[in-house]
């Protein structure tokens, strides 16, 4: 049970501070104009499409962050739907983190750590074959 709580905290931090917090920090820059801050020089992704569509990235980040927080709360309250939603979030993050380099490294650390904790708690010491 303790591993679920730690995984829930990791997912909450990931969703609230990295995803949603990052979006909220970029909103004033976009409103005032990215040309004043040379935002394209500071943010670079491995896929150029992401750099060209930073507004869409903000919306996507807010959605991922919100769903990640919902999953974390469900996991914290020991709900099965929270467990499933958290595993889905972590798996999707693992698949997409390579397209979000260099920011995907931090996403991967949080998501992979949470997924390992969730799976080791769920399966425990069970063996594949008896």
Would you call 125 helix, strand, or coil by DSSP?
coil
Domain that holds residue 87: 2-24+49-123
On whether residue 35 sits in a domain, the answer given is no
Q: Please check whether residue 114 lies inside any domain of the structure.
A: yes
Q: Is residue 129 part of a domain?
A: no
CA distance 83 to 63: 18
Q: How far apart are CA 105 and CA 107, in angstroms?
A: 5
What is d(CA 112, CA 71) in angstroms, rounded to the nearest whole number?
A: 15
Residue 36 lies in a domain: no
User: Does 31 reside within a domain?
Assistant: no
Sign of CA dihedral 53, 70, 5, 24: positive
Work out how many domains the chain is built from and give that number: 1
- Orientation of helix 104-123 relative to helix 80-96, angle to 10°: 140
Which SS3 state, helix, strand or coil, does residue 78 take? coil
Residue 30 lies in a domain: no
Among 65, 66, 43, which residue's Cα sits nearest to residue 54?
Answer: 43
Spell out the per-residue pLDDT of the chain, length 130, in tens. 799 999 999 999 999 888 888 778 777 777 776 666 555 555 566 677 766 777 787 788 888 899 999 999 999 999 999 999 999 999 999 998 888 777 788 889 999 999 999 999 999 999 988 7
Q: Give the tokens for residue 59.
A: 């919306």
Domain contains 64: yes
Domain membership flag for residue 59: yes
| Full-model pTM | 0.82
């Amino acid at each position: 049970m303790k591993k679920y709580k730690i995984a829930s905290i990791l997912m909450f931090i990931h969703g609230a501070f990295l995803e949603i917090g990052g979006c909220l920090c970029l909103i004033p820059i976009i409103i005032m104009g990215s040309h004043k801050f040379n935002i394209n020089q500071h943010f670079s992704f491995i896929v150029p499409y992401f750099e060209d569509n930073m507004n869409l990235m903000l919306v996507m980040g807010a959605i991922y962050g919100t769903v990640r927080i919902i999953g974390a709360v469900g996991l914290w309250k020991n709900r099965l739907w929270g467990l499933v939603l958290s595993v889905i979030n972590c798996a999707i993050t693992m698949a997409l983190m390579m397209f979000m380099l260099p920011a995907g490294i931090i996403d991967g650390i949080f998501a992979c750590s949470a997924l390992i904790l969730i799976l080791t708690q769920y399966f425990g010491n069970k063996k594949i074959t008896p």
